[in-house]
């Protein structure tokens, strides 16, 4: 995002604030409650068309920095094994032995040139090649080891992340439809993982997605956390194809009116939320990013992983700096948990039949567009 774009967006926020309004859609819309129940094969369709297909960032580059390092991740398509081979190339594999299907690696991360199955000791190198089979000549005389390497999934390193690229016919930049320029601007390859928090919530993934694309709820749902630092119900949402960028100005935005426009910096006085289809969110703050990954486990359960990405330190953190980042992460988790607790409450009431549809007001127009994009993929 260049300086001219930032100036345009900040001026638009000033205009909305002066008019005591926010970005509004043309009309009120309605969302069928059946979308949130995942019945009649809908959930399976969503998984196959979205979560198991579209490019998704699964790990940050800082989690796989060293040659011969590895990371395992639990995804909607099962356990994944990411490796960086001795030449520095990243790979992604199904974490499954080709013999009898045992999970190959149990550790979350580490360094290894070889991986040995705990069941029958078939071993693989970190490029996925089948290296050895105990008693292979006797027990498997006609087996072609070159055809039984780990099942590899296309992946690509870009914008600070390693993206699983399950659908090889769709280029990442084509998928991002312009959002890539903003991701480049964020310089997330200069960040590294501070810590992560993971929890399963009893709510459909679409309910959780709805909660992240409007600020109408801020004053009420977040009254005891972040609401005092933001303007009430003021935001701008733009779409890059199916991906959304929401700008939430902080109260300090007003101070920019006294500065030359060429000194304006959007990140210093707002939070930016990038919601990438299907459910990757980057909550961008002044000097760091909160990375929110949502993995649907069932029609009514979603696993949320919140990761703080902070500027890579040039020296070990002091106790004071460590505690500052720890507190920052805790505040983020507490604030987002307020949203997820409400999502659980919504899920509980769905089967009552009290609502056939939810109402999206004009300040919640982004939610209607989001579901249109979801439907177009199914």
Tens of pLDDT, residue by residue over 22-47, are 999 999 999 999 999 999 999 999 99
Q: Tell me how far apart the alpha carbons of residues 307 and 310 are, in angstroms, rounded to a whole number.
A: 10
Portions of the chain given CATH number 3.90.380.10:
3-54+176-377
Q: Tell me how far apart the alpha carbons of residues 185 and 187 are, in angstroms, rounded to a whole number.
A: 5
List CB contacts of 368: < 8 A, sequence separation 6 or more.
25, 29, 31, 360
pLDDT at residue 6 tops 70: yes
Confidence (pLDDT) at 165: 79
List CB contacts of 82: < 8 A, sequence separation 6 or more.
58, 59, 64, 70, 71, 72, 73, 90, 91, 92, 93, 155, 162
Range 344-355 average pLDDT: 94
Portions of the chain given CATH number 2.102.10.10:
56-158
Q: CATH: 3.90.380.10, 3.40.50.300, 3.40.50.720, 3.30.70.20. Which one for 3-54+176-377?
A: 3.90.380.10
**What DSSP state is assigned to residue 1?**
-
- Give the largest Cα separation in the chain, rounded: 81
Report pLDDT digits (tens) over 164-200.
976 655 689 899 999 999 999 999 999 999 999 999 9
Task: Write the CA distances from 237 to 62, 228, 357, 363, integer angstroms.
Answer: 30, 21, 23, 10
Confidence (pLDDT) at 351: 85
- Percentage above 90 pLDDT, the chain: 92
Asked: is 56-158 a CATH 1.10.10.10 domain? The reply is no
Q: Give the torsion through C-alpha atoms of 20, 25, 28, 33, to 10 deg.
A: -120
Tokens for 374? 């979801």
Confidence (pLDDT) at 250: 93
Task: Write the CA distances from 333 to 110, 114, 215, 244, 359, integer angstroms.
Answer: 27, 37, 18, 22, 27
Strand, helix or coil for residue 270: strand
Residue 308: in which H helix or E strand, if any?
strand 301-311
Are the CB atoms for 196 and 307 separated by under 8 Å?
yes
Q: Tell me how far apart the alpha carbons of residues 179 and 54 are, in angstroms, rounded to a whole number.
A: 15
């Amino acid at each position: 995002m260049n300086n001219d774009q930032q100036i345009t967006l900040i001026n638009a926020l000033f205009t909305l604030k002066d008019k005591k309004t926010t970005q509004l859609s043309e009309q009120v819309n309605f969302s069928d409650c059946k979308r949130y129940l995942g019945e009649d094969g809908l959930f399976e369709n969503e998984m196959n068309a979205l979560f198991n297909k579209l490019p998704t960032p699964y790990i940050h580059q800082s989690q796989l920095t060293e040659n011969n390092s590895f990371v395992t991740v639990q995804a909607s398509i099962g356990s994944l094994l990411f490796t960086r081979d001795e030449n520095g190339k990243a790979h992604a594999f199904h974490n499954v032995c080709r013999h009898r299907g045992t999970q190959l690696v149990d550790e979350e991360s580490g360094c290894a040139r070889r991986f040995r199955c705990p069941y029958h000791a078939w071993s693989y190198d970190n490029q996925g090649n089948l290296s050895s089979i105990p008693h292979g000549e006797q027990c498997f005389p006609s087996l072609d080891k070159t055809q039984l390497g780990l099942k590899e999934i296309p992946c690509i390193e870009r914008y600070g992340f390693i993206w699983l690229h399950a659908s090889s016919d769709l280029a990442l930049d084509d998928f991002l439809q312009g959002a890539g320029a903003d991701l480049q601007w964020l310089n997330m390859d200069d960040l590294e993982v501070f810590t992560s928090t993971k929890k399963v919530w009893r709510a459909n993934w679409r309910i959780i997605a709805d909660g992240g694309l409007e600020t109408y709820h801020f004053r009420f749902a977040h009254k005891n956390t972040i609401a005092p630092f933001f303007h009430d119900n003021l935001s701008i949402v733009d779409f890059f194809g199916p991906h959304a960028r929401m700008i939430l100005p902080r109260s300090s935005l007003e101070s920019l009116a006294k500065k030359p426009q060429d000194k304006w910096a959007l990140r210093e006085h707002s939070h930016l939320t990038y919601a990438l289809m299907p459910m990757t969110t980057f909550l961008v703050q002044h000097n760091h990013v909160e990375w929110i990954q949502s993995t649907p486990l069932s029609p009514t359960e979603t696993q949320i992983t919140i990761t703080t990405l902070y500027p890579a330190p040039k020296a070990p953190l002091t106790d004071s700096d460590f505690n500052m980042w720890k507190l920052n992460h805790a505040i983020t988790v507490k604030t987002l948990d307020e949203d997820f607790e409400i999502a659980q409450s919504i899920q509980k009431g769905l089967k009552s039949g009290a609502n056939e549809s939810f109402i999206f007001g004009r300040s919640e127009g982004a939610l209607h567009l989001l579901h249109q994009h979801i439907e177009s993929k199914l």
